Chains A and B, each alone.
Chain A
Amino acid sequence: MRARSEERTGMSGEDLLNVRGLRVDYGRGRGAVRAVDDVSLSVAPGETVGLVGESGSGKSTIGRAIVGLTPVAGGAITFAGEDITHARRGRRRELSASLQMVFQDPYSSLNPARTVGATLAEPLLARREISPRERLALVQRALERVGLPPEAARRYPAQFSGGQRQRIAIARTLVVSPRLVVCDEPVSALDLSIQAQVMNLLADLQAELGLSYLFIAHDLGVVRYLSQRVVVLYRGQVMESGPAAGVYSRPAHPYTQALIAAAPIPDPKAARARPAAAAPREQAERNLPSESCRFASRCRYVVDACTRQRPPLVPTRHGGLVACLRHEEIGAPAATDHAAPPRPDHANATP
């Protein structure tokens, strides 16, 4: 165990999970793509941290890097005080008792050719001291805990609905006693009425077992409901982070604002009241210098300075962090008022 650090610098020694400057590359050589670029985040015991972003934001890659499914190119991942960035297979096997993951698609995350019981027993196979009988008992207890009958162990995944399968996938993490569960879009493949059941189940398990979650999703609304803190990603970089309620009601970064503005509002009056589209996309994504704000090409507030440097993460007034040069000018309460200032004239904005 690492000595508890004296100063609390936002990410302290009390964190269960601490990710520092994480970099993940896909591919090799010149064709390599940096999927995750200098991302830092932390999860305290019993806390839920939401990781939000669209496809290509690197959010799932971060989750996979934490559980050791994707090699890390740089940075450090600390779990319970131990550096697990490059943990070997043997160590990973031991870690699986306390670090687990729930995947997005409950149809492909369970092997269709194996019974639920056989799949659920897998996390226990690494531990030889557990007898087959104890194993079955643990599997059945985990199934009951997620609201399924113990007989489910004898059946095949095809005999369950999507929501039930996701419960089984959650049960797989509970046959051991995990401290942190990485949830990779656990409800996005589920129907609305089932989604709520699974989200409540996750909340109940957290209250009961004191679990920590890293909750990955593309939907800020879902993340806000479950998380205490959120981290907003765009193309592999952190745009904004902070307390969930604050980020949702007072987004400081133009990307977060666009994300919130784009989410359809399930209320016809509010939907009609707000202006048309958010960030234009199709003409976007032109080539930018590598040292620039990744969002610059889509940003309505962009100035020349944005393309000259990567904006550092700086504290906001509301206890969060934001990577935007102009966040103080534009920090409008986006969730209620979308009449943000128009894109400034370049001539005026250039310092």
Chain B
Amino acid sequence: MSGAVGLGRFLGGLLRRPLALVSLLWLLAVVFCALFPAVVTSRDPLEQDLLASLQGPSAAHPLGTDRLGQDLLSRLVHGGASTLWGVLVATVVSVVIGVALGLVAGYLGGFVDAITVRIAELLFAIPGVIILLVVFAVFPNNVTAAMVTFGVLLASGLIRVVRSATMSVRQELFVAAARVSGLSDARILYRHVLPRLTSLVIVQAALIAAFALVTQAGLAFLGFGPPPPQPSWGGLVEEARGVVVQAPWALVPPGAAIALTVLAFSLLGDAVRDAATQSWSSTKLVRRTARPRASSPGDTDESPAPEKTLLSVRHLSIAIPLRSATGDRALTTVVDDVSFDISPGEVVGLVGESGCGKSVTALSVLGLTPGGGSITGGSCLFAGTDLVRASARQWGEVRGRGIGFVAQEPMVSLDPTVRAGAQLAEAVRRHTKVSRREARQRAVDLLRSVRLPDPADVARRYPHQMSGGMAQRVAIAFALAGSPSLLIADEPTTALDVTVQAEILALLRTLSRERGMAVLMVTHDWGVVAELCDRAIVMYAGQIVEACTVDSIFAQPRHPYTAGLLRSDPHRVVDGERLPTIAGTVPAPTEWPTGCRFADRCDLAITDCRRAPVQLSDSGPAHVARCLRSDDLLLQTVPT
């Protein structure tokens, strides 16, 4: 069954981590010692030898002796049992209570949930160690009773964690899908919820075990452990305390035993967490790695930017560390030799599907390549500055003042803890030297300029008090604070409703005209391109495949990908006709072919297309396309 396969993968992943392996071996060794102390040492832990008191490590006594000449190794090994028993009791009690209550509360919700949360809150607020002292006062030296109580108190954390994890799994669509598939609650819990909780519970259990161990040792240290002269780890520390002046060494063995065991628990917990997420999320971006420096300078002059160009991107290549199909992480080129210009006041659409590199290109122009990637070649000339090699001071001049930026999700692109007016005022003060009061006034003016009906009211609001459209207007106002001459907008209307989208598009058009501000609009929506843009640049698999005016791209696309995308738009299709499609999917950056990257999906592809990289070539006035057969494509589309 798949469950067993998943478990195998998970365990395999766990044991490949050296720290996890060492921790596991240590814990097994400690448990073995506690169960079979006589196998490890032949000395009796209670055998006294007053002539050999307070000795350091020797062959006869590997860890030395205490005041009564008792062998410390033997006492340590025999003392493990009571300590570990306490840990086991507390952990089991905690896990049973925590998982049961957390699962029930999270899955059922409502009244049951409200009660459980209150119980957890109460347990959490009870001062644990004091309650344990009460327990010891009524059950002297009863470790089991104390650790059962402690387990109950510690369960509160687990209840919370399990509850919120259950709730978030329950809200996943796959649980809804399972219910629609007719699965019973018990089956859903077993198949979908519990597997997601396993690693979480193990991590928490490891933490609880670590905490229980320290607490149990601390209590034994205070004399509430097993009655003397029975050894326990905490008790050994207490015995060492009495001789700390004469023989400080005695502190080391019990301290090391406690610390290493706690360490083993928490390292194992961490490893379980990492292994669990890795076993099924195989294709994820790796975390940031060292940044390679931008290379290949000086290739900018071969196609000089025309006069009066605002932004001139030349041969820009960008690489991001990606995990390939085989699981290795490697810097992979995701944007390949991209060149384009934007003139003052011009609105340019950067069009393509997800994964084609359009957002990465736009963000890299601002020096904010996502995913730990970096620019590997080319240049971005903006108002005389090459942004690829810009210093921190130059960025200070460009960002906000030269180029403004609007992101896709309006609700998360504002700081949730600061009022809209204060965020805007901060941006204003960053870009112009004005007083605080004047900045506040300018903030309200900015809000008015994005056509918000009651700007003073909006200025007082926090992001969570705004609608999506309102938040996006505030975000646009934020980008306008430094009066930039270029606005880069990364899918600014994708997250919005259609009617709100229309208003935001209209606003962007008006702002561009009023301020003579150029706009680089990243979008996947042909409607947005047609409504807003003067020129369109189409990207596919990291390359520009076509660039021209909006009118000619809609009338006469010269690349089969553009033509195919336009044809498959349901808004343009004739009623009753089957939707024309492009077969297959966009290849991942790790699987780009050497020849034309679209060849595998193209009806017109010939052998030449796959042989060598295809260059961008002129296919009309101010129209370039990366296709060997663009004339044939024209013949094909003209009749319709």
B469 touches A282 (CB 8 A): yes
A103 touches B530 (CB 8 A): no
A101 touches B177 (CB 8 A): yes
A262 touches B499 (CB 8 A): yes
Is B179 in the interface zone, CB < 8 Å from A? yes
Q: Which residues on the A side are within 8 Å of B566 (C-beta)?
A: 266
B497 touches A54 (CB 8 A): yes
Chain A interface residue count: which class? 35 or more
Q: Which residues of chain B (304-340) have a CB below 8 Å from chain A?
A: none
Partner of A113, one of B182, B196, B581, B585: B196
A281 CB to nearest B CB, Å: 6
The stretch among B81-89, B155-163, B187-195, B397-405 that forms the contact with chain A is B187-195
Q: Which residues on the B side are within 8 Å of A67 (C-beta)?
A: 180
B413 CB to nearest A CB, Å: 18
Q: Which residues on the B side are within 8 Å of A95 (C-beta)?
A: 182
Q: Which residues on the A side are within 8 Å of B503 (C-beta)?
A: 262, 277-278, 280-282
B571 touches A266 (CB 8 A): yes
Is A245 in the interface zone, CB < 8 Å from B? yes
A192 touches B569 (CB 8 A): yes
Task: Tell whether A112 pairs with B182 under 8 Å between CB atoms, given A125-B187, A268-B550.
Answer: no
A197–B185 Cα gap in the complex (Å)? 35
What 0/1 readout, one digit per residue, does chain A (263-294) give for beta carbons within 8 Å of chain B?
11111111100001111111100000000000
Is A177 in the interface zone, CB < 8 Å from B? no
A112–B5 Cα gap in the complex (Å)? 14
B469 touches A281 (CB 8 A): yes
A259 touches B568 (CB 8 A): no
B572 touches A161 (CB 8 A): no
Partner of A261, one of B185, B502, B530, B551: B502
B182 touches A123 (CB 8 A): yes
Q: Which residues on the B side are within 8 Å of A221 (C-beta)?
A: 570-571
B527 touches A264 (CB 8 A): yes
B582 touches A269 (CB 8 A): no
B195 CB to nearest A CB, Å: 6
B353 touches A191 (CB 8 A): yes
Is B173 in the interface zone, CB < 8 Å from A? yes
B554 touches A196 (CB 8 A): no
Is B580 in the interface zone, CB < 8 Å from A? yes
Is B529 in the interface zone, CB < 8 Å from A? yes
A254 CB to nearest B CB, Å: 12
Q: Which residues on the B side are within 8 Å of A245 (C-beta)?
A: 575
What 0/1 readout, one digit per residue, does chain B (344-370) give for beta carbons within 8 Å of chain A?
000000000110000000000000000
Task: Tell whether A192 pairs with B524 under 8 Å between CB atoms, given A123-B181, A222-B570.
Answer: yes
Task: Tell whether A265 pairs with B280 under 8 Å between CB atoms, given A54-B499, A113-B196, A169-B177.
Answer: no
Is B139 in the interface zone, CB < 8 Å from A? no
A161–B566 Cα gap in the complex (Å)? 22
A268–B506 Cα gap in the complex (Å)? 14
B527 touches A94 (CB 8 A): no
A192 touches B353 (CB 8 A): yes
A204–B24 Cα gap in the complex (Å)? 55
Q: Which residues on the A side are within 8 Å of B585 (C-beta)?
A: 161, 163-164, 193-194
Q: Determine the residue in chain A with the shortest Cβ distance to B528.
A: A264
Is B167 in the interface zone, CB < 8 Å from A? no
What 0/1 readout, one digit per residue, does chain A (228-248) give for beta carbons within 8 Å of chain B?
000000000000000001000
Is A64 in the interface zone, CB < 8 Å from B? yes
Is B274 in the interface zone, CB < 8 Å from A? no
Partner of B498, one of A104, A195, A262: A262
B581 touches A197 (CB 8 A): yes
Q: Determine the residue in chain B with the shortest Cβ distance to A244.
A: B575
Q: Determine the residue in chain B with the shortest Cβ distance to A64.
A: B176
Is A258 in the interface zone, CB < 8 Å from B? yes
A178–B374 Cα gap in the complex (Å)? 50
B173 touches A105 (CB 8 A): yes
A265 touches B527 (CB 8 A): yes
Q: Which residues of chain A (100-145) have a CB below 8 Å from chain B?
A: 100-101, 103-105, 108-115, 117-119, 122-123, 125-126
A264 touches B505 (CB 8 A): yes
What 0/1 readout, one digit per residue, does chain B (470-507) give for beta carbons within 8 Å of chain A?
10010000000000000000000000011111110110
A117 touches B2 (CB 8 A): yes
Q: Which residues on the B side are within 8 Å of A194 (C-beta)?
A: 353, 585
Is B516 in the interface zone, CB < 8 Å from A? no
Q: Which residues on the B side are within 8 Å of A193 (C-beta)?
A: 353, 564-565, 568, 581-582, 585-586
Is A199 in the interface zone, CB < 8 Å from B? yes
B453 touches A283 (CB 8 A): yes
Q: Which residues on the A side are within 8 Å of B505 (C-beta)?
A: 264
Task: Tell whether A271 pairs with B530 under 8 Å between CB atoms, given A193-B564, A266-B566.
Answer: yes
Q: Which residues on the A side are within 8 Å of B451 (C-beta)?
A: 282
Is A336 in the interface zone, CB < 8 Å from B? no
Q: Determine the residue in chain B with the shortest Cβ distance to A156.
A: B280
B498 touches A54 (CB 8 A): yes
Q: Determine the residue in chain A with the shortest Cβ distance to B281.
A: A158
Is A68 in the interface zone, CB < 8 Å from B? yes
Q: Determine the residue in chain B with the shortest Cβ distance to A28.
A: B110
A68 touches B568 (CB 8 A): no
Q: Determine the residue in chain B with the shortest Cβ distance to A258.
A: B499
Q: Which residues of chain A (320-336) have a CB below 8 Å from chain B?
A: none
A200–B279 Cα gap in the complex (Å)? 34
Is B36 in the interface zone, CB < 8 Å from A? no
A203–B579 Cα gap in the complex (Å)? 10
A267 touches B530 (CB 8 A): yes
B637 CB to nearest A CB, Å: 15
Q: Determine the residue in chain A with the shortest Cβ distance to B276.
A: A113
Residue among B281, B498, B566 with most chain A CB within 10 A: B498
A104–B503 Cα gap in the complex (Å)? 25
A280–B469 Cα gap in the complex (Å)? 11
Residue among B195, B502, B565 with most chain A CB within 10 A: B502
Q: Which residues on the B side are within 8 Å of A267 (C-beta)?
A: 530, 554, 572
A218 touches B506 (CB 8 A): no
A196–B566 Cα gap in the complex (Å)? 11
Q: Determine the residue in chain B with the shortest Cβ distance to A194.
A: B585
A103 touches B570 (CB 8 A): no
Partner of A97, one of B182, B283, B502: B182
A159 touches B531 (CB 8 A): no
A80–B571 Cα gap in the complex (Å)? 34
Is A12 in the interface zone, CB < 8 Å from B? no
Is A219 in the interface zone, CB < 8 Å from B? yes
Is A172 in the interface zone, CB < 8 Å from B? yes
Given A118-B1, A126-B181, 9 other A-B contacts at CB below 8 A? A54-B499, A69-B179, A110-B177, A122-B181, A195-B568, A196-B581, A197-B581, A263-B571, A281-B503
Name the 3 nearest CB pairs between A and B, nearest first: A264-B527, A96-B182, A196-B568
**Interface residues of B, Cβ cutoff 8 Å to A:** 1-2, 5-6, 172-174, 176-185, 187, 191-192, 195-196, 279-283, 353-354, 451-454, 467, 469-470, 473, 497-503, 505-506, 524-531, 550-551, 554, 564-566, 568-573, 575, 578-583, 585-586
A-B contact pairs, 11 of them (CB 8 A): A54-B498, A96-B182, A159-B282, A164-B585, A194-B585, A197-B581, A197-B582, A219-B498, A264-B526, A282-B451, A282-B452
